[in-house]
Structure 1
């Protein structure tokens, strides 16, 4: 059957990043199939149906990262797959590692059985690159990998690292009878920017805490940020650019920003609107004490006062 439009599957299409991918794909003229956990969850699916051109070129289907069979039909007749679906809780245990790994492998396995699939772009993270290392004077590149040591690295970074390792290993072991397709991994930093949906993910929650008095004082944290629209654009450019085949690509603005710098930027925009943005930096000893009562505070102790530097020269807009 002749296809009028190029078909792209976007997994986890109701996510913060994924819905921007869907929006840009539709605006660029692609036909999009988006996977969601439940079509009956109007809060998550309606923002997708409200996108321009959704009525003409968007199909939503149900698929689950923990159910391999759903992906066989999900990838059917698709030319490209943007695999953005992956758990991202602020507090996580090791159970998310198997979900992230098995979910990525389920999508890749389905693609080996569908001759139409030319390429998969997988959303990884700089969390799969920089965690567990000494950061002083080190500039992280795509050649770096997070140390998978549970004594040094929390569950979420280990889940992203394990899922990406599993994906590359899978690609290196395709059989002669498998459909051959290319893989690119996009490794974004903390994603910020306009919200197109009605649900709050972890990326949004972090910035929200600056705004709603959940962060009475600022930890001495330094993090790279990236606009969600740029990350979506990077996925779509990588999708059709053969020069990105087999590559990891860091998507992170530089220099990284200290939390006090983020607070100043937010204060300039939102303080006149009545928001109370924290101004003072919390002493390290206070955070050490507070970490005994707050598991999220405990997570950041080994990141305090460390400048994060990344080489983002590979990504190009």
Structure 2
């Protein structure tokens, strides 16, 4: 049996919030990793990856772009596994978000179908491809469900994740004889929280940053299915290694059904004594709708207001044997990482954590 050092894993969009954790865990696990970035000349994105343990020995960074199909054959060459984590997650989604998500996914998969070293692709989809556009507000969602893209107020981001994942499954079913028929697993995480390994302020850290900075007067009545970024990365590697996940969609969320106010309470409990004033009251829909005219990022969440998220995560537990980190720990760890990195300013009463 080959040692893990001789197994090369491609991680697309390697500088992203989830992807950096995938790279870190792969390196610690002994794998050789190739990560894609759009530009090797961007130190803000490249240096945190180069600083990871074992990066000097087993990490190679290459340039590739979701919108440039000719960059992918070289990226996937000689890789046994591909973790396709890269996908647009803009603050203000539009129709181009759908095009980039679908074309980008197919560009990667087409390269894998021509590269016979690739045995399996693990694709990062989203709960956004499962739980939206449904009439039944009490429904408990499973991997059998798909977001209804024709549903009321389903925005372009939700459509992009749904259409891109469907395109991936359709592509794998239609790979012609003679091409490389690789296995596919799609992972569908909820809202991803937890410590950041970079200083890049992507969409995934925006909620916690805004809460700690008291940048919102109140909180939209927003349902959150939370998952820790470390669990999402771990799930990618477990799915990659486990043939029982072949051909499966797997929801990644803690079983607790939470609202944005719950997340705020977790943060207030930990960071209130440090001098941070966390908003905790719900805003009525009308005020959120009004705010959407002045803040385009608010417009993107309007379809999700009042949308309680109930999910069945038994497949992740049964196939991947995951035990999920509680969202309170995810939020607290994320808060400390954002403060220590300077993404959120330190208050005069702030005291660094002495324990993990």
The TM-score normalised by the length of structure 1 is 0.96
Query: Which residue in the other structure is 1:256 paired with?
Result: 257
Query: Which residue in the other structure is 2:8 paired with?
Result: 7
Conserved? CA contact 2:10–2:79, under 8 Å = yes
Q: Secondary structure at the match of 2:200?
A: coil
1:107 paired with 2:108, answer yes
Conserved? CA contact 1:35–1:62, under 8 Å = yes
2:203 & 2:260 partners in 1: Cα distance?
17
Query: Which residue in the other structure is 1:33 paired with?
Result: 34
2:219 & 2:208 partners in 1: Cα distance?
12
Query: Which residue in the other structure is 1:230 paired with?
Result: 231
Conserved? CA contact 1:135–1:307, under 8 Å = no
Q: How does 1:138-149 map to 2 (within 5 A)?
A: 138-149=139-150
1:45 & 1:22 partners in 2: Cα distance?
12
Query: Which residue in the other structure is 1:208 paired with?
Result: 209
Q: CA offset at residue 294 of structure 1?
A: 3.1
Query: Which residue in the other structure is 2:200 paired with?
Result: 199
Q: CA offset at residue 162 of structure 1?
A: 0.9
Q: CA offset at residue 51 of structure 1?
A: 0.3
Query: Which residue in the other structure is 1:24 paired with?
Result: 25
2:77 & 2:288 partners in 1: Cα distance?
50
What is the CA deviation profile of residues 252-279 of structure 1, one whole-angstrom value per residue up to 9, with x for unaligned ones? 1122211111111100111112211002
Query: Which residue in the other structure is 1:153 paired with?
Result: 154
Conserved? CA contact 1:5–1:29, under 8 Å = no
Cα RMSD of the aligned pairs, angstroms, is 1.5
Q: Structure 1 regions of 5+ residues with no counterpart?
A: none
The change in CA–CA distance for 1:267 and 1:152 in structure 2 (over 3 A counts) is same
Q: Structure 2 regions of 5+ residues with no counterpart?
A: 323-356
Greater shift, 179-188 or 305-314, is seen at 305-314
1:65 & 1:150 partners in 2: Cα distance?
28
Query: Which residue in the other structure is 2:218 paired with?
Result: 217
Q: CA offset at residue 136 of structure 1?
A: 1.7
The change in CA–CA distance for 1:102 and 1:306 in structure 2 (over 3 A counts) is closer
Q: How does 1:68-87 map to 2 (within 5 A)?
A: 68-87=69-88
The change in CA–CA distance for 1:189 and 1:169 in structure 2 (over 3 A counts) is same
